[in-house]
Amino acid sequence: MLVIFGCILSFLEKVINRCIIKYRTTKFIVCGQNVYIGKNCIFSYSNVSIGNHVYFGPGCVIQSAHGHIYIGNHVMFGPGVNVHGGNHIYNRLGFYMDEVNKKLGDDTDIVIEDDVWLGVNSIILSGVVIKKGAIVGAGSVVTKSVEPYSIVAGNPAQLIKQRFTDEEILQHEKLMAKREGKIH
């Protein structure tokens, strides 16, 4: 009897979690299809745009009070990834830092392009563009933009190597375009 009860509870938990994810995806500026949000994720919904086929591992924090965060297609966020837009204004004479009010647009945007993998507990900071096909190693702190198909790691994140050679990038992009029906 306990086994049956456990199975029913497990099924109900899955249904409830799917409903919660579906509800949460309606709160973003834009949210594509096939977006999975792991448990305990935190978002500043009103300025986040998400593409298709995006996975957020548990415990991700994606927030920016005064800038936008754009997330492309086929992006994977490992558990505990933090994306933080903005910073405090610290150079106003005659004001404490917590007294300086900011508004939407005062901070630079964060852009995470298509086919990006952000490793567990990595941190992405304001103004960064992570370009197509890049990988950010676990625990990295990204303070500067990342070039296409680069693998970066460390604090601050630095180039480790390229995913592909220049020739392989051309071949990869041609194959992907063909796969997506963009060329025949």
Assess whether pLDDT exceeds 90 at residue 173. yes
Q: Is 184 inside a domain boundary?
A: no
88 is catalytic: yes
Which is the catalytic residue, given 74, 84, 88, 184? 88
- Residue span of the structural domain in which 55 resides: 2-179
Looking at every residue in the chain, the average pLDDT score rounds to 92
pLDDT category at 184 given cuts 50, 70, 90 is: low
Q: What is the pLDDT of residue 29?
A: 92
Q: Which residue has the higher pLDDT, 46 or 17?
A: 46
Q: Which residues contact 80 (CB under 8 A, 6 or more apart)?
A: 57, 58, 59, 60, 120, 121
Whole-number Å distance between alpha carbons of 148 and 21: 30
pLDDT at 65: 84
For residue 145, is it within any domain?
yes
pLDDT at 21 over 90: no
Residue 98 lies in a domain: yes
Averaged pLDDT for residues 126-134 = 97
Looking at residue 170, its pLDDT comes to 95
Whole-model pTM: value is 0.88
Contact (CB, 8 A) for 67 and 107:
yes
Residues in the chain: 184
Report the percent of the chain where pLDDT is more than 90.
Answer: 70
Q: Is 94 within a domain?
A: yes
Least confident piece of the model among 20-24, 47-51, 57-61, 98-102 = 20-24
pLDDT at 40: 94
Copy the structure tokens of residue 55. Answer: 């996975």
Task: Strand 61-63: give its sheet, edge to edge.
Answer: 42-43, 61-63, 82-84, 123-125, 141-142
Question: Based on the structure, what is the number of domains in the chain?
Answer: 1
- Kindly tell me the burial class for residue 122, based on how many C-beta atoms sit within 10 Å of its own C-beta (0-12, 13-18, 19 or more): buried
